[in-house]
Structure 1
């Protein structure tokens, strides 16, 4: 089973969707699964130092503070129902996610899923700036990546360009919001959905041959 996941690391619904998918996979266990993570940069204009979080979100969505809080409360409850923590009170900065996606791209295959979860945890539970190279390198170190080599790789032009190009590719192929999941290149699930929806999609995708290209 090939599963392509398009996501951004500051998207709470992406974390919820990831949890629903992985819970579905834990129940399913019909085939070996190969997961490919793809960046979808929600706003790559955010500077490395970030913006004040709540003010940025109010401006972005054009809503008042009390409406934003209601949105956060509803999203937090959805996270709790899925089994993930989303602590919006801890988040101080709206951040640029490009570095976090570069780390995911560089992470060894056997720890890549764990690195994705660690990035989500750093942002949504610890309120860390995942646009800060020191934060990103610390996550990499926790998964046995060499700090010196990782810093060099994160600054390599081809790694940077690949993340931006993949995000652009997604939009050019009519992926306009995340999370977005494609199973065996044909069965698509958009948004965070439910465990049951993912189980149905997995069963449908299992009946298909994988085409040569996504």
Structure 2
């Protein structure tokens, strides 16, 4: 069973959706499932040093500080219900996520899901800047990836341009928001749906 996951590593709903998907997958044979991770850059205009998070989000969402806090509180509660931490008080920067997607691309298949979760944790729990090569390398090392060439591979401009191109391609396929899931190139699931929704769709497609 093939599952394509379109996500961004600073999207809280993507972390929630990933948790629901993997909770559902626990009921299926892991060896029969192949997951492909696809970048969907929410805002590639953010510089590597990032922007101050709350000001950026207020402007992006056109919200007052009170409305923004309400949005964060609601999303945090949804995360808690799913079993993930979304500590918006600890997030200081709106960051560029190209490097984090490049790391996922470079990661050996057996470790990809672990690395994806480590990236989410670094941002939503530790408030780290995913636009920093040093931070991304440290995340890789925490997952057992310690290649001396990794920093240079992360900095490769052509490879980073390819990440941007893949994100643009997703939009050309009418994927306008994330998370977005495609099962066996046919069934499309938009948003961080419930575990039960994933179980139902996975059960049907695992029999095909």
TM-score by length of 2: 0.97
Instruction: Tell me the C-alpha RMSD between the 2 structures.
Output: 1.2
In the alignment, structure 1 segments of 5+ residues that lack a partner are: 209-214
Residue 95 (structure 1) aligned with residue 95 (structure 2): yes
In the alignment, structure 2 segments of 5+ residues that lack a partner are: none
Post-superposition offset of 1:60: 0.2
- 1:99-141 deviations in Å (ceiling 9; x for gaps): 0000000011111100000000000000001111110000111
Q: How does 1:31-180 map to 2 (within 5 A)?
A: 32-180=32-180
Instruction: Kindly report structure 1 stretches of 4+ aligned residues shifted beyond 6 Å.
Output: none
Post-superposition offset of 1:6: 0.1
In 1: Cα distance, 2:61 partner to 2:139 partner? 30
Q: Judge conservation of contact 1:13–1:192 (CA < 8 Å) in 2.
A: yes
Post-superposition offset of 1:191: 0.2
Give SS of 2:121's match.
helix
In 2: Cα distance, 1:189 partner to 1:103 partner? 25
In 2: Cα distance, 1:181 partner to 1:175 partner? 10
Distance 1:31 1:200, change over 3 A: farther
TM-score by length of 1: 0.94
Give SS of 2:148's match.
helix
Post-superposition offset of 1:30: 8.0
